[in-house]
Amino acid sequence: MRMVRSIAIAIATVGFAFAAAAPAAAQPLGSFRWQLQPYCNVITLAVVQQGGQYQLDGLDDQCGAAVQASVVGLAFQNPNGSIGFGLNIVTAPGGTPVHVDATISIATLSGTWRDSAGNSGTFIFTPGAGVPGAPRPVPSGGLPANSVTTIQIAPAAVTNVQIANNAVTGASVLDGSLTSADLADAPRTAAVEPPDATLTGADTVVAQVTITAPAAGRIIANASGYYYTIDSATLDTARCSLTTGTSLDINRMAYLRENAAGSLYGTPFGLTRGFAVVAGSSTTVRLVCNVFSGSAQARSLSLTAMFVAGS
């Protein structure tokens, strides 16, 4: 057996060295076998010289299984003098593809290998069958865990058409990895707490916020504060409303009206209103106030708006 192995190595070495040194037309160099250690898979490759490269065709015995897998590829001489292999193995049954990258030494015809499923080991030249062991693992679909990232996926390539209902849950997403900026129709909010405002007879915008809707839906706005009057000689009437315009909406307002002259130091008010919006629209919601009579201030003001997708 030692003599057979030595002759095989000698013939193979001469063949590879000749091809590397003197590129020529297609020339068969023979069939050679390698084991993908630590696994029991043995591949047999017919090597044909094509200029300065080697065409490879053969089989993976799949550890002596009833069916074998096809292997095609290319071998080439690296600048450092080693021989590189690029192999495509189509496993059977099922047709799952696995790509193998191997490098061997001219002196021994053995080296190392790595595959696209994340496996690796020693690429052992052998004239005989492989030793017992487990078959090389092949993941479902031929893809190792975490091998597909945003680099491999074009923007907008994955939509709800590619994802089954309920396929992605909270268990599939790392805590804190998603924000509203990552979700096309996620809620958006905007808020402001402006200073106190002295009201006049003219409509005055005392607070405003702007939201751009990522999808069709509604903007829900809330405003709060309190009216403050100190003129005891007149009947004071103060009014505020939520609107997308700049004028008081008298049909939807919160107002204070004195029935007798006096001073009111804190009368709270609250307003809520919804506005329908379309995708891509920019909407400004304003709190507009005035005094219909007398004098008043609007204090402790707060204005909040939130976008919600849907009708």
Number of domains forming the structure of the chain: 2
Is 8:131 a contact under the CB 8 Å cutoff? no
| Residue 181 domain-assigned (yes or no) | no
Kindly report the backbone phi and psi dihedral angles of residue 146, in degrees, each rounded to the nearest multiple of 5, phi listed first: 65, 20
| Residue 137 domain-assigned (yes or no) | yes
pLDDT the model gives residue 258: 79
Q: pLDDT tens, position by position, for the chain (311 residues)?
A: 343 344 344 445 545 544 444 455 678 889 999 999 999 999 999 999 988 899 999 999 999 889 999 999 999 999 999 999 999 999 888 888 999 999 999 999 999 999 988 899 999 998 776 667 899 988 765 555 666 777 778 887 888 787 888 877 877 787 877 776 666 667 889 999 999 999 999 999 999 999 999 889 999 999 999 999 877 778 889 999 999 999 999 999 998 887 776 667 789 999 999 999 999 999 999 999 999 988 899 999 999 999 998 86
Based on the domain organization, do 7 and 138 belong to the same domain? Answer: yes
d(CA 207, CA 203): 12
| Residue 162 domain-assigned (yes or no) | no
| Residue 277 domain-assigned (yes or no) | yes
Based on the domain organization, do 109 and 41 belong to the same domain? Answer: yes
pLDDT the model gives residue 2: 41
Based on the domain organization, do 68 and 129 belong to the same domain? Answer: yes
Based on the domain organization, do 136 and 244 belong to the same domain? Answer: no
pLDDT the model gives residue 36: 94
| Residue 302 domain-assigned (yes or no) | yes
Based on the domain organization, do 138 and 6 belong to the same domain? Answer: yes
- Domain CATH code at residue 253: 2.60.120.760
| Residue range of the domain that includes 233 | 188-309
Based on the domain organization, do 109 and 221 belong to the same domain? Answer: no
